[in-house]
Every structure is written in C-alpha cells, then in structure tokens.
Amino acid sequence: MKNLSQLDDELAYDKHHIWHPYTAIPNPVPVYPVVAAKGVYLTLANGKQLIDGMASWWSVIHGYNHPYLNQAIHAQVDKMAHIMFGGLTHAPAIKLARLLVEITPIELEKVFFSDSGSVAVEVAIKMAIQYWQAVGKVEKQKLLTIRRGYHGDTFGAMAVCDPVNGMHNLFSHLLPQHFFADEPQSRTDAEWNETDIASFKAILTQHHNEIAAVILEPLLQGAGGMRVYCPTYLRRVRQLCDKYEILLILDEIATGFGRTGSLFAFEQANIVPDILCLGKALTGGYMSLAATLTTQKISEIISSNPPGVFMHGPTFMANPLACSVATASIQLLLDTPWQQRVMQIETQLKKFLLPIISLPQVADIRILGAVGVIELKEVINMAKIQAEFVKREVWVRPFKNLVYIMPPYIIKEAELMQVINAMIEIVSDKNLWQ
C-alpha cells in the first residue's frame, strides 16, 4: 500500500494533468485509485475492496485477473508482443478469426480487426459505402439509425449517435447528416405495436436510394439511454433492408458475448446482419481489440473493384497479445455455463429491482440478461452518488438520470445482492443523490 503523501501527490497530478472520460481539467469529480483487481473486486489504495457492478464498461465478463486469461497473455508475450499486420500475419490472428467465423452465422466469414469499438463502427461504415461505390451506386452515402443510440466517439460513429440526447451535439455542425427514425417502444414481442416501425419504414421508402446502410444496437441501446426493445423490431428492419437493398450493420460491441442472454443479441430475432461489429468483452476486458465481420459478397465486390482493396489499416490491427487473450476469453466463455449465470443474474435483478418502480422518483426499471437499469425522473448528482456507492463497498458508475449495472458473469448471489441493496438504498433516499 502506498504511503499517504505519495498517494496524495499522484491524485493531485491526476486531477490537474489527466483527462478522464467526459471530465474537465482540473477534474472536479473525485477519482478512486485502484491498486489491484481480482474476481469481481477492485482494491483501492486505502485497502477498501469494491464489488464491481460495471465489469469495466461491459468488458470484464470473466472477472479480473483470471488465471486462464493471464496464461494466454504470458504465453504470447514471450514470443512477440506486436508486429505490423501489413504484409505479415501470425497464428493468434488466424486462430481468433477462425473462432469468430465459427461462432457467428455462416454468412459472416470475413474478419477485419481494429483496436476499439469506435473504430470497428468506422470500419463498418466505410465498408458499406465502399461496397456501394464499387457497384456504381455512389449516391448511396447516407446511414439510417434510430434515436437514443450510441456507437462511439470518433467522427463517423458520432454521426450516427443520437443528435439531440447524445453526447456529441457540440460537433453536430461538423458531422455528416444522416437519417434518424423514432426509437421503438415495444420491449417484448408480446407488446409489439406495428406503429413502432412506421417512422423507420417511411424514411426508407422515401430515401432508400441515398441510404447505404442501417446501423443499430440490437435489443439494448447502451450509452444513449440504456433502452431495451423487442426482437420483432429487428425482424421488421431486416425485412425492410432486404426489400430496399440496404445493408444492415449491427453494433454488438456492448451486447456481444452473452450480455443479453444469447451469445449475440441478434440471435434472439433470428436474423443475420450484413456487417457485424464486436468489441468490449471480446478480450474479456484485458486489452483493447475489436472486429468487424462481413459476408463473402461484400468483401468480393470491394476487392474486385477499384481501388481493389478495402481502405483501412490501423497500426495495432490484430495485435498478437490481444488476439491471444481474445481467443482464450471466447473459449473460456463457451466452456463455462455462462448462459445459466446470465439468467441467474437477470432473475435476481427482476426479483429485487422491479418492485421499486413504485417509488415516486423512479421513472422506469429495465432488465435484460446481465443488465439492470433504474431510470430516475431527475438528473442525479453523479459525484455524490458515486461516493455513496463507494461507502457501501460497491462500484457503480451512473450517468444523467440512470443508475445501472452490468456485472461480470461470475458474480455470486451474495455479491450481486450487495450491489442491488446499494442501488435500492441510494435510489430510495432522495437526500443522497440530489
């Protein structure tokens, strides 16, 4: 454990010199120094242990410091940590690509590796536009998505995030202008209302000649509002894309690898995208890596028309360390009862969170797989509520008016109960979060 003077010096430097996500400098919001992590626990510099209800933004699905994933990293680093992917290849990339092709629908057989989810979305957008240029339909350069979505922080990805309620309206004058349909309201197929697809259908009918692709987060919208919608909507979208010859991009960066109860969320709609984006849990949270998968048809048309290559190539593309731990993480997932664990988490969340919908300050409760969301009627004081969670030895990172969790799949019932109780206590006492 560090002495207090050293720790104070480090925190002061952090506050005045380091940007954290969506913060100012100097940072007015306290940050909590972590010195170790194991299982579902984060150990702070003062020795306190916190149960991590966030899985480090969806990614650490197996928990921290897993021996199987550690071994994959150790075994690879002694061989090579990185080589360029231009003109060279290596076994970890080939092995990971083979596994991704095996676990996704048969139509998705081409893999492009990148270094983050945002870049995977950029790759997908470029892929769709280059495809239509290759077939001579250069007018198809627009995208269609739904409101309340989030697809990343880079410019192409920002352009398909919600333009009003999203985090990027500051840059709206610089971004390409795309089409936004109303977000669906039906949460389950039993609640399906055909009017949910009306806005989307109207835009496609009028503008399909301009639209290169549709991009959606399937079933669960993430940072745009943590909203849940039903599989029927995805089925209707797929039908309309087929009718109007529009490519369908599904952004499974947040939902992929079991988070919603199926390996990939789109499986619950029994559809297949033309382009699929994966990231976050791909490596079990160990390293930054993403992948964009597509079909033989799309890759063949791009590759057989000028300029004859796909125009993208990140420096750290297919990093061997990341590919090695990603393969290990996927194999670990497949070899464990992950689906049972996710369903147990969902059952426990429903049992204890749904009843607090009766609280006057609660606007909504949303639960899907290993995701639990409490939407409040007012925006919260994040710094204050964060401190309240830490007092209860829990790590939950709320934003705007949302208090939500997406824990590692390995979380035990008692550990999850501690997180749930903290959520209920804090949300129930308005004095704690106003």
Residue 157's contacts (CB-CB under 8 Å, 6 or more residues apart) are: 118, 121, 122, 125, 151
- Residue 434: pLDDT band (50, 70, 90) is low
Q: Cβ neighbours of residue 16 under 8 Å, at least 6 residues apart?
A: 25, 26
Reply yes or no on whether the pLDDT at 316 is more than 80. yes
pLDDT above 90 (res 92): yes
Give tens-digit pLDDT for 216-233: 999 999 988 899 999 999
Spatial CA neighbour of 215 closest among 147, 139, 261, 301: 147
CB neighbourhood size of 292 (10 A): 26
369-428 residue pLDDT tens: 999 999 999 998 888 899 999 999 999 999 899 999 999 999 999 999 999 999 999 999
CATH of the domain spanning 70-334, picked from 3.40.640.10, 3.30.200.20, 3.90.180.10, 3.40.50.1000: 3.40.640.10
pLDDT digits (tens, 9 = 90+) for 125-180: 999 999 999 999 999 999 999 999 899 889 998 888 888 776 677 787 788 899 99
- Rounded CA-CA distance 42/303 in Å is 46
State the average pLDDT for the chain. Answer: 95
CB 376 within 8 A of CB 398: no
Residue 150 is among the residues annotated as catalytic for this protein: yes
Of these ranges, 248-252, 306-310, 425-429, the one predicted with the greatest mean pLDDT is 248-252
Q: List the structure tokens of 116.
A: 């983050």
Catalytic residue among 52, 110, 142, 150: 150
Q: What is the mean pLDDT of residues 277-290?
A: 98
Neighbours of 115 (CB within 10 A): 19
Q: What is the pLDDT of residue 383?
A: 86
Residue spans of the domains in the chain: they are 70-334
Annotated catalytic residue: which of 196, 251, 274, 286?
251
Cβ atoms of residues 302 and 296 within 8 Å: no
The region of weakest confidence among 23-27, 57-61, 266-270, 272-276 is 23-27
Residue 384: which residues within 8 A CB-CB, separation 6 or more? 432, 433
Report pLDDT for 28. Answer: 85
What are the angstrom distances between the C-alpha of 357 and each of 25, 407, 412? 37, 21, 25
Maximum mean pLDDT: which of 19-23, 143-147, 172-176, 430-434: 143-147
- Residue 97 to residue 101: CA distance in whole angstroms: 6
Query: Average pLDDT for residues 317-322, to the nearest whole number?
Result: 98
Over residues 263-283, mean pLDDT: 98
Checking if the pLDDT of 1 tops 60, the result is no
Whether 22 is a known active-site residue: answer yes
Mean pLDDT of 350-357: 98
The pLDDT score that the predictor gives to residue 5 is 82
What does the pLDDT read at residue 6? 87
Total Cβ atoms within 10 A of residue 125:
27
**Whether residue 311 has pLDDT greater than 80:** yes
